[in-house]
Amino acid sequence: MSKKLIELGGFDTIPAISTGNLREDNIANAGLYRQLLKDGEKTGLYPFFVKKDYEFDYFWLRLSDRGVKDSETYRKSAAWLLEKVNRRCFEVWQGRMLYDYKLDCCENTKDYEEYMEDLILPVSDKYNRLFDNPREISDFGLFDAYEMNPAYAQKFIHFEDYIIVLLPITNPWEALAYFPMGSFNSCPSPECQIALAKELYDKYRARIMFIGLDRLTYYLEKPLLKRDELEAAAKTLIIADDDCYPDYELTVKEIIGKHTWQLWWD
């Protein structure tokens, strides 16, 4: 299916760097992504990583469900997804959580309102100290560094399975219209994911770096270091994915100075 979808979209691809050393490849691929982003300013091509085969099968099935049969309907499907998102914003995305994401824990509007009220900033000294000496963490990879260390990474992460897609798009969030990630493993719908990606880019210049079945990686050229920006971003990430980002303290610790944000729904 990988070849079929690539032909359907008519886009170019580049293989990910794969030498067998997971940690080194992780950082090297992030460097390659940054270079391709810079090159894209001249070529007009936007890069992002996708895993081949099984994940391509999933995207192909999602596109088939939308009536995609050829290159023309593929473009029309992506354009329609983007048009729907243009009529939305992240505040609407929050309101849709009750139906698209939080149904398992929010059974009615009252539950949703209580969830929002619980997002209260901590006032402890421990939390306040997180902002004392923020620093940029320049050495980073496509996946979180902690993922490269456990033994399971050797079994499940193989960079030879990844490619970089080069799409002729203007805005990073448009990549999710061509690879409609969502509605899998409790992920919000593709429309909601695009609305979220647009919000994160507009506010923090966070760009789509990797699209998976149930996870996304965002890249920030300039990581967040200011308290007000970190707390605002933390609230958004908690709402979007409270498995990875359960509360303000843990979320701020995870994103302060970081060039990548990892979202994963199980």
Work out the average pLDDT over 40-57: 90
Domain segments of the chain: what residues? 2-264
Given its phi and psi angles, is residue 167 left (phi above 0), alpha (psi -120 to 50 degrees) or beta?
beta
pLDDT band at 187 (very low <50, low <70, confident <90, very high): confident
> What is the arithmetic mean of pLDDT over 76-92?
74
Is the pLDDT higher at 246 or at 94? 246
Give the confidence band of 50 by pLDDT, cuts at 50, 70, 90. Answer: very high
Question: What percent of the chain stands above pLDDT 90?
Answer: 52
Name residue 70's amino acid.
Answer: D
46-60, 110-124, 158-172, 229-243 — which one is most confidently predicted on average? 158-172
Phi first, then psi, for residue 121 (nearest 5°) are -65, 135
Mean pLDDT score, 205-224 = 95
Q: Tokens 């270079």 belong to which residue? A: 35
| Whether 176 contacts 84, CB under 8 Å | no
Whether the per-residue pLDDT at 158 is higher than 70: the answer is: yes
Could you give the CA distance from residue 99 to residue 192 in angstroms, rounded to a whole number?
Answer: 11
Task: Name the residue type at position 157.
Answer: I
Distance CA 242, CA 90 (A): 16
Label residues 82-111 b or e (16+ Cβ within 10 Å = b).
Answer: beebeebebeebbebbbebbbeeebeeeee
Per-residue model confidence as pLDDT tens digits over 85-114: 776 555 555 545 544 444 445 566 677 677
Quote the pLDDT of residue 105: 55
Average pLDDT over residues 38-62: 89
The DSSP result for 52-87, as a single string, is -THHHHHHHHHHHHTT--SHHHHHHHHHHHHHHHHT
Which pLDDT score, from 0 to 100, does residue 212 have? Answer: 92
Q: Indicate if the pLDDT at residue 214 is higher than 70.
A: yes
Residue-wise pLDDT tens digits, 18-47: 999 999 999 999 999 999 999 999 999 999
Task: Considering only residues 25 and 4, tell me which one the structure prediction assigns the higher pLDDT.
Answer: 25
pLDDT, residue 110, reads 73
Q: What's the full length of the chain, in residues?
A: 266
Would you state the pLDDT for residue 99?
A: 40
Environment class of residue 151 by beta-carbon count within 10 Å: exposed (0-12), middle (13-18) or buried (19+)? exposed
Predicted TM-score (pTM) of this structure: 0.89
* 3-class SS of residue 215: strand
Residue 98 Cα distances to 71, 105, 112, 187, angstroms: 35, 9, 7, 13
Which of 213, 182, 178 has the alpha carbon at shortest distance from 96? 182
